[in-house]
Amino acid sequence: MKLSAFVAAAFAGAALAADITGGIMWNSVCQDIKQLGQAKVLLDNAAYSANVLRSGKFSIPDVPAGTYLLSVRAHDYMFDTLRVDVPEPDENGTYADPIVRPYVPGTPLDPPTQVTLPYPIVLTARGKYNYYTAPTSFNALGMLQNPMMLIMGAGFLMVLAMPYLMKSVDPEALQEINANQAKLGDIQSAFASGDFKSGCVLISVLHALFGSTDTLRSLSALMNQGEPEAAPAQAASPARGNAGKKGKRR
């Protein structure tokens, strides 16, 4: 009894589903199954699927009533995406043929287009994928347009132009520039060694750079921080004590 009930339920479920059949028509893009290779026809991204046979035909079994998007998964070839509407069965449990319509991916399903396609479904290859990427050849212009190359080129031009620029500078101004650079070098060496009081050279350079007495004083105070201050004289207390003792003696 249980076996017969299971068989009856299976037949009832099969009666509530339809088969979607069709085939691939060979053309100049894809001429036979050897060129196509292994391919599969999918409904709603593999919710239901079937392999493409050597003859190019396919059959997706037991598809319930509803609206589906049919596509072909092939490695080298592209196919159209179709909309397939499986109608509800009639009173006798028989299905009418599914309604096939063209579909553009990304567009809404409703309202459906009024254009219908013949059934069984006929699919043709629309194009072939090209996975080959040609190796890029050496491009000198592209290399020179690189920002790093432009920066390096500008620096190289500055190095070449520097002697000519120095020749056009006034000799007195050039001597002053060299003197300032030497003073800056003394400052850097003083800071590197930690000797902030290394004499008059640093003070004179700071005075020449800042030209402000207030700034120079603040810098001198900053350098003098940390020196121990002289302890205040405490001579008053002993004097008072001696005076008191003298008073007692009297």
Q: Three-class SS string for 44-64?
A: CCCCEEEECCCCCEEEEEEEE
Residue 55, domain member (yes or no): yes
Asked if the structure places residue 34 within a domain, the reply is yes
Give the whole-angstrom CA distance, residue 168 versus residue 155: 20
- pLDDT tens digits, residue range 167-215? 777 777 777 877 887 877 777 777 677 665 554 555 555 555 555 556 5
Report the predicted TM-score, pTM, of the whole model to 2 decimal places.
Answer: 0.50
* Beta carbons within 10 angstroms of residue 121's beta carbon: 19
**How many domains does the chain fold into?**
2
Whether residue 53 is found in the same domain as residue 91: yes
Average pLDDT over residues 100-116: 89
* pLDDT per residue as tens digits for the range 62-98: 999 899 999 999 999 999 999 999 998 887 777 788 9
Token reading at 231: 């302890």
| CA geometry: angle 22, 25, 28, nearest 5 deg | 160
- How, if at all, do strands 48-51 and 77-79 pair? unpaired
Q: Is residue 11 part of a domain?
A: no
Do 65 and 145 have their domain in common? no
The amino acid that residue 171 corresponds to is: P
Q: Give the integer Cα–Cα distance in Å for 130 and 121.
A: 27
Specify whether 120 is located in the same domain as 165.
no
Same domain, 124 and 26: yes
Q: Are residues 175 and 203 in the same domain?
A: yes
Check pLDDT > 90 for residue 239.
no
**Whether residue 146 is found in the same domain as residue 111:** no
Asked whether 51 and 39 are in contact (CB, 8 A), the reply is yes
Q: Could you tell me if 22 and 93 lie in one domain?
A: yes
